[in-house]
Structure 1
């Protein structure tokens, strides 16, 4: 059974993934190189958020 804190962290993580997915989709549809760079940065941030969430849950 998950704790309330774990559920909160997972919920925030899911929201971040959904936002990143929509931005990534928009970027892929764009031919703009600047958008591609922003997407790469977004994915790095998302990766850090996922790692942080995993650490929070392991506590």
Structure 2
């Protein structure tokens, strides 16, 4: 995941972005609070999460 957001500093708080509620729920479900946390999860893992579709992972 971190390759999708390569310019975010590791300490960047993901909550500071204006995410749609579905995106925010996924972040909370996977305990992704900082940009550095994105390096701990894969897109495949996200796609196996309930209510996640390619629309979420492709909306960059």
TM-score by length of 2: 0.29
Structure with max Cα Rg: 1
TM-score by length of 1: 0.29
